[in-house]
């Protein structure tokens, strides 16, 4: 059983207040509506607006920041995700010839650099959340995971090994950035400090 499957019921119980989720969806939907209205009938790129909206919602859920659609961190992460998908393309040569994974091709170097940026962003968020963590005030998904980690350690549960900082970063990465990122981090041996 994957870590995310083990902790999902805990996080749902501790964090998923449907009113909070509904509020985030309504707030971001209003931001999207304002963005469309600001165009005064000019053409828009719906993919870009919807993408910004989704990342804004996910950012608010995962990090409890009141992101706007044009927030530099959101636009940065959208760009990072797009570039990562482009770097993955239809696959790397190493996908077809596994021995090539040991060669530092430009595509592999670019992908590692993009994933490193994403990983560092999430590790920084974990550090900020750990510094401001209050078990009586669960603000977002990161806080709910920190609470699960704390309670698991306090109870000496058999899940302790499944709730390391690496797992927390990977879980939030799965939610915010897409499952491919944390899987790639694990293969690259990345762990938060």
Q: Average pLDDT, stretch 118-132?
A: 92
With b for 16 or more beta-carbon neighbours within 10 A and e for fewer, the 116-128 pattern comes to: eebbebbbebbee
Q: In degrees, to the nearest 5, what angle opens at C-alpha 77 toward C-alphas 71 and 81?
A: 150
Q: 111-125, 131-145, 149-163: which range is least confident on average?
A: 149-163
108, 92 contact by CB (below 8 A) = yes
Q: Which helix (H) or strand (E) holds 62?
A: helix 46-63
pLDDT tens column, 21-67 = 888 899 999 999 998 888 888 888 888 888 889 889 989 888 888 88
- pTM here is 0.74
What does the pLDDT read at residue 134? 94
CA distances from 34 to 29, 38, 163 (A): 9, 6, 40
d(CA 152, CA 149): 5
Q: Quick one: CA dihedral 139, 144, 150, 154, positive or negative?
A: positive
What does the pLDDT read at residue 90? 62
């Amino acid at each position: 059983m994957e870590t995310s499957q083990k902790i999902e019921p805990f996080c749902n119980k501790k964090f998923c207040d449907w009113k909070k989720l509904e509020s985030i969806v309504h707030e971001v939907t209003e931001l999207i509506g304002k963005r469309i209205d600001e165009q005064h009938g000019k053409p828009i790129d719906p993919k870009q607006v919807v993408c910004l909206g989704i990342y804004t919602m996910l950012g608010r859920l995962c990090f409890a920041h009141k992101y706007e659609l044009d927030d530099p961190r959101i636009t940065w992460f959208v760009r990072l995700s797009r570039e990562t998908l482009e770097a993955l393309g239809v696959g790397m040569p190493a996908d077809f010839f596994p021995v090539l994974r040991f060669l530092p091709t430009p595509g592999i170097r670019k992908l590692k650099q993009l994933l490193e940026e994403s990983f560092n962003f999430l590790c920084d968020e974990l550090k900020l959340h750990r510094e401001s963590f209050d078990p009586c005030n669960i603000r977002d998904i990161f806080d709910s995971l920190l609470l699960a980690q704390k309670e698991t350690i306090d109870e000496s549960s058999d899940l302790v090994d499944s709730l390391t900082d690496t797992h927390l970063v990977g879980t939030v990465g799965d939610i915010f950035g897409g499952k491919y990122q944390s899987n790639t981090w694990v293969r690259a041996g990345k762990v938060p400090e």
